Structure 1
Amino acid sequence: MTSNFQRIVLAMICLLVTIGSSTNAQDLYATQRQGWLKKAEALKPALTETVKHPKGIVKLEKDPAAFQGWKAVPAGGIEQLYNASFDKRNSGIVVDFGEHLTGYCTFSLKTRRADMDAPLRLKLTFGEIPSELATPFDPYPGSLSRAWLQDETVTVSVLPATIIIPRRVAFRYVKIEWLGASRGFEFGFSDIQFKAVTSVTVTPPALAASTPDIIKDIDRVGLTTLKECMQTVYEDGPKRDRRLWIGDLYLEALANTYSFKNDSLTKRCLYLLAALSNPDGILNSNVFEAPEPHAQKSRLLDYCYLYNVALKEYVIATGDKQTGLDLWPVAKKQLDIARQYAGADGMMDYVKAGKEWWVFFDWKDGLDKQAPLQGSTIYALNQTYQLAKLLGKENEIADVPALSKKLKDAARKNLYDKTSGLFVSGTNKQASYGGQAWMVLSGVATKAEAQKALRTIVTHKDAVKPGGPYMYHYFVAALIETGMHAEAKTALTDYWGGMVNKGADTFWEVYDPADELRSPYNFYPMNSYCHAWSCTPVYFIRKYPEIFQR
Structure 2
Amino acid sequence: MRKIVHLLQSVVLLGVTAASVHAQPVAFAAERENWLRKAADNMPKLTETVKKPQCLVRSEKDPDAFQGWKMVETDGMETLYNQSFKALKEVTVDFGEHLTGYFSFTIGKLNTDADAPLRFRLTFAEVPAELNTPFDPYPGGLSRAWLQDEVVTVMRAPATVTLPRRMAFRYVKIEMLAHSSFDFAITDMQFTAVTSASGTPEELAPTTDPIIAQINRTGLITLKECMQTVYEDGPKRDQRLWIGDLYLESLANTYSFKNHELTRRCLYLLAALADEDGWLHATVFEYPDPHPQTGQHCMDYSLLYGVTLYEYLKATGDRETAEDLWPVVVRQIEFARTYLKDDIYDMDKKPQWWLVFDWKEDLNRHAPMQGLMTFAIDRSYELARMLGREQEVAEWPGVVKAMRKASRKNFYDSKNGVVVSGPDRQVSYLSQVWMILSGTLSQKESVRALEAAFADPASCYPGSPYAYHYLIEAMLHCGMNRQAKELLVDYWGSMIRKGADTFWEVYDPKDDFKSPYNFYPINSYCHAWSCTPVYFINKYKEIFQQ
User: Same fold per TM (> 0.5)?
Assistant: yes
The partner residue of 1:463 within 449, 459, 464 is: 459
Q: Where does residue 12 of structure 1 map in the other structure?
A: none
The partner residue of 1:141 within 139, 156, 162 is: 139
Could you tell me how far 1:433 is from its partner in structure 2? 0.9
Please give the alpha-carbon distance, in whole angstroms, between the structure 2 residues aligned to 1:483 and 1:363: 27
Q: Does 1:157 align with 2:155?
A: yes
Could you tell me how far 1:320 is from its partner in structure 2? 0.8
Please give the alpha-carbon distance, in whole angstroms, between the structure 1 residues aligned to 2:441 and 2:68: 42
Q: Where does residue 221 of structure 1 map in the other structure?
A: 218
Could you tell me how far 1:92 is from its partner in structure 2? 3.3
Q: Does 1:195 align with 2:192?
A: yes
The partner residue of 1:393 within 389, 395, 399 is: 389
Unaligned runs of 5+ in 2: 1-12
Could you tell me how far 1:191 is from its partner in structure 2? 1.2
Task: Please show how residues 2-21 of structure 1 align to structure 2 within 5 Å.
Answer: none
Q: Does 1:322 align with 2:320?
A: yes
Could you tell me how far 1:22 is from its partner in structure 2? 5.0
The partner residue of 1:365 within 361, 376, 386 is: 361
Could you tell me how far 1:201 is from its partner in structure 2? 1.9
Please give the alpha-carbon distance, in whole angstroms, between the structure 2 residues aligned to 1:92 and 1:414: 62
Q: Where does residue 261 of structure 1 map in the other structure?
A: 258
Task: Please show how residues 300-311 of structure 1 align to structure 2 within 5 Å.
Answer: 300-311=298-309
Query: Which structure has the larger Rg?
Result: 1
The change in CA–CA distance for 1:448 and 1:53 in structure 2 (over 3 A counts) is: same
Which residue type is aligned with residue 227 of structure 1? K
Task: Please show how residues 351-430 of structure 1 align to structure 2 within 5 Å.
Answer: 351-352=348-349, 355-430=351-426
CA offsets, 1:115-172, max 9 Å, x none?
Answer: 3222110010010111111111111000100000000111112110000100000000
Please give the alpha-carbon distance, in whole angstroms, between the structure 2 residues aligned to 1:224 and 1:535: 8
Does the aligned pair in 1 maintain the 2:140–2:522 contact within 8 Å?
Answer: yes
Q: Does 1:59 align with 2:58?
A: yes
Q: Does 1:433 align with 2:429?
A: yes
Could you tell me how far 1:178 is from its partner in structure 2? 0.9
Aligned with 1:430: secondary structure? coil
Could you tell me how far 1:352 is from its partner in structure 2? 2.3
CA offsets, 1:214-262, max 9 Å, x none?
Answer: 0000000000000000001100000000000000000000000000000
Could you tell me how far 1:25 is from its partner in structure 2? 4.9
Please give the alpha-carbon distance, in whole angstroms, between the structure 2 residues aligned to 1:389 and 1:224: 36
Which residue type is aligned with residue 321 of structure 1? R
The partner residue of 1:103 within 101, 104, 111 is: 101
The partner residue of 2:279 within 274, 278, 282 is: 282
Q: Where does residue 175 of structure 2 map in the other structure?
A: 177
The partner residue of 1:242 within 230, 239, 244 is: 239
Q: Where does residue 38 of structure 1 map in the other structure?
A: 37
The change in CA–CA distance for 1:347 and 1:25 in structure 2 (over 3 A counts) is: closer
Pairs aligned (count): 530
* 461-470 or 113-122, larger mean C-alpha shift: 113-122
Aligned with 2:421: secondary structure? coil
Task: Please show how residues 55-94 of structure 1 align to structure 2 within 5 Å.
Answer: 55-87=54-86, 90-94=88-92
Q: Where does residue 267 of structure 2 map in the other structure?
A: 270
When the two chains are superposed, the root-mean-square deviation of aligned CA atoms in Å is 1.5
CA offsets, 1:318-355, max 9 Å, x none?
Answer: 011111111000000001233111112x21112326x3
Please give the alpha-carbon distance, in whole angstroms, between the structure 1 residues aligned to 2:17 and 2:455: 61
Does the aligned pair in 1 maintain the 2:18–2:26 contact within 8 Å?
Answer: no
Could you tell me how far 1:21 is from its partner in structure 2? 11
Which residue type is aligned with residue 31 of structure 1? A
Please give the alpha-carbon distance, in whole angstroms, between the structure 2 residues aligned to 1:22 and 1:200: 42
CA offsets, 1:394-435, max 9 Å, x none?
Answer: 111112111111111011011111232110000000011111
Does the aligned pair in 1 maintain the 2:245–2:528 contact within 8 Å?
Answer: yes
Q: Does 1:453 align with 2:432?
A: no
Please give the alpha-carbon distance, in whole angstroms, between the structure 2 residues aligned to 1:143 and 1:20: 34
Could you tell me how far 1:20 is from its partner in structure 2? 9.1
Could you tell me how far 1:110 is from its partner in structure 2? 1.0
Aligned with 1:378: secondary structure? helix
Aligned with 1:486: secondary structure? helix
Could you tell me how far 1:19 is from its partner in structure 2? 6.3
Aligned with 2:193: secondary structure? strand
The change in CA–CA distance for 1:481 and 1:76 in structure 2 (over 3 A counts) is: same
Aligned with 1:356: secondary structure? coil
Please give the alpha-carbon distance, in whole angstroms, between the structure 1 residues aligned to 2:151 and 2:111: 24
Off by >3 Å, runs of 4+ in structure 1: 18-25
The change in CA–CA distance for 1:53 and 1:21 in structure 2 (over 3 A counts) is: closer
Does the aligned pair in 1 maintain the 2:297–2:352 contact within 8 Å?
Answer: no
The change in CA–CA distance for 1:19 and 1:205 in structure 2 (over 3 A counts) is: closer
Q: Where does residue 289 of structure 2 map in the other structure?
A: 292
The partner residue of 2:201 within 204, 209, 231 is: 204
Q: Where does residue 123 of structure 1 map in the other structure?
A: 121
Aligned with 1:350: secondary structure? coil
Which residue type is aligned with residue 207 of structure 2? S
Q: Where does residue 521 of structure 2 map in the other structure?
A: 525
The partner residue of 2:475 within 475, 479, 490 is: 479
Q: Does 1:343 align with 2:344?
A: no
Please give the alpha-carbon distance, in whole angstroms, between the structure 1 residues aligned to 2:16 and 2:278: 19
Q: Does 1:515 align with 2:511?
A: yes
TM-score by length of 2: 0.95
Which residue type is aligned with residue 439 of structure 1? M
* 106-115 or 30-39, larger mean C-alpha shift: 106-115
Aligned with 2:70: secondary structure? strand
CA offsets, 1:9-43, max 9 Å, x none?
Answer: xxxxxxx9x96995795211110000000001000
Q: Where does residue 549 of structure 1 map in the other structure?
A: 545
Could you tell me how far 1:111 is from its partner in structure 2? 1.1
Which residue type is aligned with residue 416 of structure 1? Y
